[in-house]
């Protein structure tokens, strides 16, 4: 019942969005080449899917995203666990992380292309950077937030390092690591498309650049819609994974 209502709300809100779009198109007399109607964009969407181009670019983008995002989460979480356990080391790493974190991954793009050439790697690196810092910092914070009683109990029963890291610290920090990873997913996805605008000839970001160069604003909008929809779907997927793993983690909601 609740799911049904959610679906209804989503349909209604999208219908409103499309209606506004259609109204804007009807009453503002832009040329259709500059501002495509919903129907044109929809037609372009269908065409790009039928020609197979869209599927191919989605596949490429997803491949880059998966590699960049998953490796960032794994490496940042491991590093975060280590730094969380070693606060003295983190004191030195933290200023560096704080300095690097606010720099847009795109600022590195010229270097990335210089160092990693063209192809899949630059986009993967951009996604990696975008996801890395949020996960690293939320993991360290998660470890620092662990209830000291878990350490007392471990100490009492003689559970020592390294067991304590994977028996206590990781599981205790896991929910907060997962929510950090979830937040990072959004920003990594945002930067994927941006990362694909340099040094590659494929992917959704490339499709946008290509559509612009060919003045195909309808294809451009169709691509934007796909990027949005995929971002939403990935978010939903991660939410689902998060929910099921957290369930295994503590037997249900808090």
Partner 1 sequence: MSYIEIKNATKTFETNGTTFTAFQNVNLTIERGEFVCILGASGCGKSTLLNAMAGFGLVTKGSVKIDGVEVSKPTPKRATIFQNYGLLPWRNVLRNVEFGLEGIKTPKSERRAIAERYVDLVGLSAFKKTYPRQLSGGMQQRVSIARALAVDPEVLFMDEPFGALDAITRAKLQDDVRRLSQTEKKTIVFVTHDMAEAVYLADRIVIMSPNPGRVKAIVPVPLQGERNRIGKDFLDFQNEIFDLFHKSPDDLVEYFI
Binding stretches for partner 1 (CB under 8 A): 149-150, 152-159, 163, 167-168, 171-172, 174, 248-252, 254
Q: How far apart are CA 182 and CA 92, in angstroms?
A: 27
Least separation in angstroms between residue 250's CB and partner 1 is 4
Least separation in angstroms between residue 72's CB and partner 1 is 24
> In what helix (H) or strand (E) does residue 79 lie, and over which residues does it extend?
helix 53-85
Comparing CB distances to partner 1, the nearer of 176 and 187 is: 176
Tokens of 37: 């109607």
Comparing CB distances to partner 1, the nearer of 96 and 248 is: 248
For the chain, state the CA radius of gyration: 22
The number of helix segments (H) and strand segments (E) in the chain equals 11, 0
Least separation in angstroms between residue 172's CB and partner 1 is 8
Comparing CB distances to partner 1, the nearer of 18 and 172 is: 172
Q: How many residues are recorded in the chain?
A: 254
Least separation in angstroms between residue 168's CB and partner 1 is 7
Give yes or no for a contact between 177 and 142, defined as CB atoms under 8 angstroms apart. Answer: yes
Comparing CB distances to partner 1, the nearer of 25 and 249 is: 249
Question: What letter would DSSP give residue 168?
Answer: I
Q: Is the dihedral of CA 198, 200, 205, 207 positive or negative?
A: positive
Least separation in angstroms between residue 182's CB and partner 1 is 18
Q: Is the dihedral of CA 24, 27, 28, 29 positive or negative?
A: positive
Comparing CB distances to partner 1, the nearer of 90 and 174 is: 174
Among candidate residues 78, 68, 71, the one with its CA nearest the CA of residue 136: 78
Comparing CB distances to partner 1, the nearer of 228 and 250 is: 250
Least separation in angstroms between residue 178's CB and partner 1 is 12
Comparing CB distances to partner 1, the nearer of 169 and 219 is: 169
Least separation in angstroms between residue 91's CB and partner 1 is 20
Question: What letter would DSSP give residue 242?
Answer: H
Among candidate residues 236, 211, 190, 237, the one with its CA nearest the CA of residue 45: 211
Tokens of 154: 């471990």
């Amino acid at each position: 019942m609740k799911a049904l209502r959610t679906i209804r709300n989503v349909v209604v809100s999208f219908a409103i969005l499309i209606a506004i779009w259609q109204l804007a198109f009807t009453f503002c007399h832009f040329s259709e080449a500059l501002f495509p109607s919903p129907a044109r964009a929809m037609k372009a969407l269908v065409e790009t899917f039928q020609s197979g181009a869209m599927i191919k670019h989605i596949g490429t983008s997803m491949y880059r995203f998966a590699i960049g995002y998953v490796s960032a989460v794994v490496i940042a979480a491991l590093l975060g666990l280590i730094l969380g356990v070693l606060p003295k080391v983190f004191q030195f790493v933290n200023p560096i992380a704080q300095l690097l974190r606010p720099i847009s991954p795109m600022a590195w793009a010229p270097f990335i292309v210089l160092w990693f050439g063209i192809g899949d790697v630059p986009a993967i690196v951009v996604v990696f950077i975008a996801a890395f810092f949020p996960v690293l910092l939320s993991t360290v914070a998660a470890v620092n937030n662990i209830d000291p009683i878990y350490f007392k109990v471990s100490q009492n029963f003689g559970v020592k390092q390294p067991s304590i890291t994977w028996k206590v610290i990781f599981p205790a920090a896991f929910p907060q690591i997962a929510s950090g990873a979830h937040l990072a997913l959004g920003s990594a996805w945002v930067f994927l498309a941006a990362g694909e605008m340099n040094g590659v000839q494929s992917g959704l970001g490339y499709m946008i650049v290509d559509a612009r160069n060919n003045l195909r604003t309808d294809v451009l909008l169709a691509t934007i819609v796909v990027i949005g929809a995929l971002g939403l779907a990935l978010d939903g997927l991660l939410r689902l994974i998060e929910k099921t793993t957290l369930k295994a983690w503590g037997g249900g909601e808090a």
